[in-house]
Amino acid sequence: MIAELGHFSLALALMLALVQSVAPLVGAARGNLGLMALGGATAIAQFALVALAFAVLAHAYVISDFSLATVAENSHSTKPLLYKITGVWGNHEGSMVLWVLILSLFGAAVAWFGTSLPPDLRARVLAVQGMIGAAFLAFILFTSNPFLRLSPAPLDGQGMNPVLQDIGLAIHPPFLYLGYVGFSVAFAFAVAALIEGRVDAAWARWVRPWTLAAWCALTIGIALGSWWAYYTLGWGGWWYWDPVENASFMPWLVGTALLHSAIVVEKRDALKTWTILLAILTFALSLIGTFLVRSGVLVSVHAFAVDPARGAFILVLLAVAIGGPLILYAIRAPSFQGGGLFAPISREGALILNNLVLTVCTFTVFVGTLWPLFLDAMGGGKISVGYPFFDWTFVPLSVLLLVAVPLGPLLGWKRGDLLAALQRLMVAAGAALVVAVAVAAIASPAHALATAGLALAAWIGFGDLSEWAERVQLLRVPLRTSLARARHLPRGAYGMTLAHLGVAITVAGIAASAWDQERIEIMHPGESLAISGYAARLDKVEPIQGPNYTADRATFTVTREGALVATMRPERRLFTVQRVPTTFTAIHSDLLSDFYVVLGESDGKGGWTVRIYEKPLVPWIWLGCGVMALGGMVSLSDRRWRVGAAVRSRRATAAAAGD
Amino acid sequence: MKRKHRRLLAVSVALGLFALATALVLNALNSSGALAFFATPTDLEQKPPPPERRIRLGGLVETGSVKRAADGRSLDFRITDGKSTVPVTYDIANGPVPDLFREGQGVVVEGKLGSGGIFRADTLLAKHDERYMPPEVAEALKRSGHWQGEHPPATEAKP
């Protein structure tokens, strides 16, 4: 009976979402405060209902209620409790419920925290949120209902794909969805602004924190997904330009552009229509991301739900959700007033360059991801686009942007002095040169591009720190004064410094992957393998018993110049329910490099295929993403975004601080 | 600088970047390394592709055909769609053999058709779980009439 309660809550939530999408709009058009207030009430109630439905579904997984089709297909009574819970969203139906749960959470958050918003703007934003919620709730109820019963109920479930039984994978979808769905707030604000025909600084002050929060979550989600692929697939790779990875990367790229253009709207009252367009595109790409993953139109290992009916539903949804606002945009955008003037060489100009390059980068990823689909639809045959495509398109374009990263913050608003900015980057240029020369001295000429990449990372990192030093006037005034200045810098400034530093760290990690070492051998117990100064000895391979798998576990002793570095135990697991073997890699990381051991198949004669990688700086890739997200969060904690603060006076202070 | 000029500059920079991106995209799409064309064993037999073209070959791993080289460095097997069969050699330096690679199961390989009709694969993809079959493989098997129905195609997986 409990499951029916969840089903009923979802249906009720759909009804409320329908009310939420109509009533506040009518109220805002007629100036009826009662109807407008209905938006907030329904948003909160909708969240409560979806949360109830989600809890019911989680309960069914925890108690292993195999009378529910989704539980029977995706769970098993012997599965560890943690994976029973994370298994709720490890399949199509459950992941859609999670999507809607997060959406309704954001809707409720706008209702809760939006009390200081103009009532008509708040009503319209909530109405747009309601429409998205209604569409997705209808999608769940009509095409992917998680509460369908099986009769008779099977004695046990079919178990979960063992690849999914992993903590990194288990927690990455919620972060990705927080990001995807978080952009719906910016989208709702953009559509509301188009309906109202008005964008002001207050609008941008509202859009920025939501965008920032979504962006942080998406950054973490993408990094976790990439890290998972790295340690679980046993290839040592961390990014495959797989359609599903691209699906999350495109909203991130445009979201990053949105984050930067919203600054211009807030500070300079310019770029309004462009920012609205970016807000629409960011969420559109989030929806397309959902479409790519959920419909399985593209060949991908991630497409666990492949059903044309769902695809058709999402396609219609996409057409309405993207086409509608774009038409509205075409009608309304020309009537928006242009804002403050600025010279091409200025902070605004640099941010425009950032936006243009990010948009063009997204375009190349979009083409590379959807080209097979397009060609197939045109009858051009089935093709796939591999990573060289992205290496030749995305990478050179992004380098263009990365080179400019340290310059932008050193340019003034309205009119900047490029020469002065370059002079302040002397230290960064010097650092980049030192790195380039030092690396070139020890690396082979074949790694010239990677060497340039490391120099680029130094340029960004030191350029970023120079900007901070400039702000606190380090070494130019007494240290005490500098420290005082550092304390009084707005958190937003620290957020930017951290985020750009994260970019530098990630770039370094990516560039250094050119020096990866790899060895594949058949090893017998007692044998050793040498790789870049390390020696790995295979001590033994023994069978072990896990909670829901059996495994062969190898023990390696890794030494460097005779000193023990680590004892590593990679496994080859066989999950008992599915009879599927999976590799469990062993990684020893000292933050400067990873030592990565994979146990392959046995040759049946006492030998085992073993893969060993030594990967310099690879942890920096995710470390950098973490620092970027941390920067976003620090920026988010800036007093200016605090709800209900007396914003206007604070803005004046912030502007005076030269932020 | 007047608003009109500023806008003109922004638009020309945008167009310039867009043109650059388009040029890069077209260049990448025309080069042989970036794109792979999907083919079945029958396609390869009937219309052998030019040797420089990257092919994504899909089908079933023929039962009894998998042989591992003694040094463990390469994997030889045959891919069949029921009508034609293509011998494949995969150099495992390109990546480990997926855990789900098995005889009689769906597989997709990427590489080029080498001399002697042996397909040299540098990418090997197996089904990622019991219920998943690459749609292109499922479709190709259906077309060749080799569909046995024992592994339901992904597109028919129940909701």
As a whole number of Å, the end-to-end CA separation of chain A is: 57
Assigned domain for A199 exists: no
Count how many domains chain A has.
2
Q: Which amino acid is at A352?
A: I
> Is B97 in contact with A577 (CB distance < 8 Å)?
no
Identify all chain B residues contacting A598, using CB atoms and an 8 Å cutoff: 96
The whole-number pLDDT of residue A191 equals 94
Report which of A513, A492, A446 is spatially closest to residue A239, judged by C-alpha positions.
A513
Q: Would the CB atoms of B157 and A383 count as touching at under 8 Å?
A: no
Cα atoms found within 13 Å of the Cα of residue A372, Cβ hemisphere only: 24
Q: Is the dihedral of CA A599, A601, A602, A608 positive or negative?
A: negative
Report which of B105, B123, B102 is spatially closest to residue B54, judged by C-alpha positions.
B123
The whole-number pLDDT of residue B129 equals 43
Band of pLDDT at residue B88, cut at 50, 70 and 90: very high
> Is A598 in contact with A569 (CB distance < 8 Å)?
no
- Tell me which H or E stretch contains A62: helix A33-62
Q: Would the CB atoms of B154 and A306 count as touching at under 8 Å?
A: yes
Q: Would the CB atoms of A296 and B154 count as touching at under 8 Å?
A: yes
Q: Would the CB atoms of A364 and B25 count as touching at under 8 Å?
A: yes
Identify all chain A residues contacting B100, using CB atoms and an 8 Å cutoff: 580-581
Assigned domain for A419 exists: yes
DSSP A329-393: HHHHGGGSPP-----SSSHHHHHHHHHHHHHHHHHHHHHHHHHHHHHHHTT---EEE-HHHHHHH
Q: Would the CB atoms of A234 and B96 count as touching at under 8 Å?
A: yes
What is d(CA A326, CA A52) in angstroms, rounded to the nearest whole number?
35
Q: Which residue of A has its CA nearest to B6?
A: A344
Q: Which amino acid is at A440?
A: A
> Is A220 in contact with A629 (CB distance < 8 Å)?
yes
- Helix (H, G, I), strand (E, B), or coil: what is residue A518? strand
pLDDT tens for each residue of A32-56: 888 988 999 999 999 999 999 999 9
Whether the pLDDT of residue A154 is over 90: the answer is no
Task: Output A293-296 pairs: Cβ under 8 A, ≥24 positions apart.
Answer: A293/A244, A293/A247, A294/A92, A294/A96, A296/B135, A296/B154, A296/B155
> Is A62 in contact with A47 (CB distance < 8 Å)?
no
Q: Which residue of A has its CA nearest to B71?
A: A522
Q: Is the CB of B33 inside 8 Å of chain A's CB atoms?
A: yes
Q: Are strands A563-568 and A580-584 parallel, antiparallel or unpaired?
A: unpaired
| Residues A428 and A553 occupy one common structural domain | no
Band of pLDDT at residue A656, cut at 50, 70 and 90: very low
Place of tokens 């769905």: A181
Q: Is the CB of A141 inside 8 Å of chain B's CB atoms?
A: no
pLDDT tens for each residue of B6-38: 778 888 888 999 999 999 998 888 876 778 888
Residues 37-56 of B with CB under 8 A from A: 37-38, 54, 56
What is d(CA A180, CA A472) in angstroms, rounded to the nearest whole number?
36
Q: Would the CB atoms of A364 and B134 count as touching at under 8 Å?
A: no
Residues 534-573 of A with CB under 8 A from B: none
- Helix (H, G, I), strand (E, B), or coil: what is residue A184? helix
What is d(CA A579, CA B130) in angstroms, rounded to the nearest whole number?
10
Identify all chain B residues contacting A361, using CB atoms and an 8 Å cutoff: 21
Assigned domain for A192 exists: no
Assigned domain for A589 exists: yes
> Is A625 in contact with A502 (CB distance < 8 Å)?
yes
What is d(CA A342, CA B3) in angstroms, rounded to the nearest whole number?
8
| Residues A554 and A416 occupy one common structural domain | no
Whole-number Cα distances in Å, B107 to A160, B40, B98, B143? 21, 11, 10, 16
Q: Which of A253, A277, A382 to mutate to test the interface with B (most CBs of B within 10 A)?
A: A382
Q: Is the CB of A576 inside 8 Å of chain B's CB atoms?
A: no
Q: Are strands A593-602 and B106-113 parallel, antiparallel or unpaired?
A: unpaired
Query: Nearest CA of chain A to the CA of B100: how many Å?
Result: 7
DSSP A463-508: HHHHHHHHHHTTTTS-HHHHHHHHHHS-HHHHHHHHHHHHHHHHHH
Q: Are strands A383-385 and A571-575 parallel, antiparallel or unpaired?
A: unpaired
Across the interface, of B24, B56, B136, the residue whose CB is closest to A364 is: B24
Min mean pLDDT across A325-334, A457-466, A506-515 is at A325-334
Q: Which amino acid is at A643?
A: V
Across the interface, of A344, A368, A582, the residue whose CB is closest to B6 is: A344
Residues in contact with A587: Cβ distance below 8 Å, sequence separation at least 6, in sequence order: A231, A568, A594, A595, A596, A597
What is d(CA A110, CA A104) in angstroms, rounded to the nearest whole number?
10
Assigned domain for A169 exists: no
Phi/psi region, residue A591 (left: phi>0; alpha: psi -120 to 50; beta: rest), is: left
> Is A361 in contact with B18 (CB distance < 8 Å)?
no
Identify all chain B residues contacting A357, using CB atoms and an 8 Å cutoff: 17
Band of pLDDT at residue A89, cut at 50, 70 and 90: confident
Report which of A300, A298, A166 is spatially closest to residue A225, judged by C-alpha positions.
A166
What is d(CA A149, CA A3) in angstroms, rounded to the nearest whole number?
9
C-alpha dihedral (A430, A433, A434, A438), degrees to nearest 10: 180
Q: Which residue of B has its CA nearest to A603?
A: B72
Whether the pLDDT of residue B104 is over 60: the answer is yes
Residues in contact with B26: Cβ distance below 8 Å, sequence separation at least 6, in sequence order: none
* Domain B37-156 indexed as CATH 3.40.50.300: no
Domain range for A480 is: 410-514+625-656
Q: What pairs with residue B35 in β-bridges?
A: A385
Assigned domain for A651 exists: yes
Query: Nearest CA of chain A to the CA of B95: how many Å?
Result: 6
Average pLDDT of the residues of chain B:
76
The whole-number pLDDT of residue B148 equals 46
Q: Is the CB of B73 inside 8 Å of chain A's CB atoms?
A: yes
Assigned domain for A423 exists: yes
pLDDT tens for each residue of A589-611: 999 999 999 998 887 788 888 88
Identify all chain B residues contacting A234, using CB atoms and an 8 Å cutoff: 96
Whole-number Cα distances in Å, A503 to A401, A593, A620? 11, 18, 10
What is d(CA A471, CA A251) in angstroms, rounded to the nearest whole number?
32
- Helix (H, G, I), strand (E, B), or coil: what is residue A531? strand
Identify all chain B residues contacting A522, using CB atoms and an 8 Å cutoff: 71-72
C-alpha dihedral (B92, A372, A621, A498), degrees to nearest 10: 180
Sequence spans of domains, chain B: 1-30, 37-156
Residues 283-322 of A with CB under 8 A from B: 296, 299, 301, 303-310
pLDDT tens for each residue of A620-629: 999 999 999 9
Angle at which helices A491-512 and A619-636 cross, to 10° = 170
pLDDT tens for each residue of A178-209: 999 999 999 999 999 999 888 877 788 888 89
For A58-62, what is the mean pLDDT?
A: 93
Band of pLDDT at residue A311, cut at 50, 70 and 90: low
Place of tokens 């495994």: A551
Q: Would the CB atoms of B24 and A393 count as touching at under 8 Å?
A: yes
Residues 59-88 of A with CB under 8 A from B: none
Min mean pLDDT across A40-44, B99-103, B145-149 is at B145-149
Q: Which residue of B has its CA nearest to A234?
A: B96
Identify all chain A residues contacting B154, using CB atoms and an 8 Å cutoff: 296, 303, 306
| Residues A641 and A502 occupy one common structural domain | yes
Task: Output A622-625 pairs: Cβ under 8 A, ≥24 positions apart.
Answer: A622/A223, A622/A226, A622/A227, A622/A509, A623/A505, A623/A506, A623/A509, A623/A591, A624/A502, A624/A503, A624/A504, A624/A505, A624/A506, A624/A507, A624/A508, A624/A509, A625/A219, A625/A220, A625/A222, A625/A223, A625/A502, A625/A506
What is d(CA A217, CA A182) in angstroms, rounded to the nearest whole number?
8
Query: Nearest CA of chain A to the CA of B69: how many Å?
Result: 10
Assigned domain for A495 exists: yes
Q: Is the CB of B24 inside 8 Å of chain A's CB atoms?
A: yes
Identify all chain B residues contacting A521, using CB atoms and an 8 Å cutoff: 72
Place of tokens 């073209």: B53
Query: Nearest CA of chain B to the CA of A301: how many Å?
Result: 6
Q: pTM to 2 decimals?
A: 0.88
Q: Would the CB atoms of B36 and A386 count as touching at under 8 Å?
A: yes
Q: Which residue of B has its CA nearest to A74?
A: B131
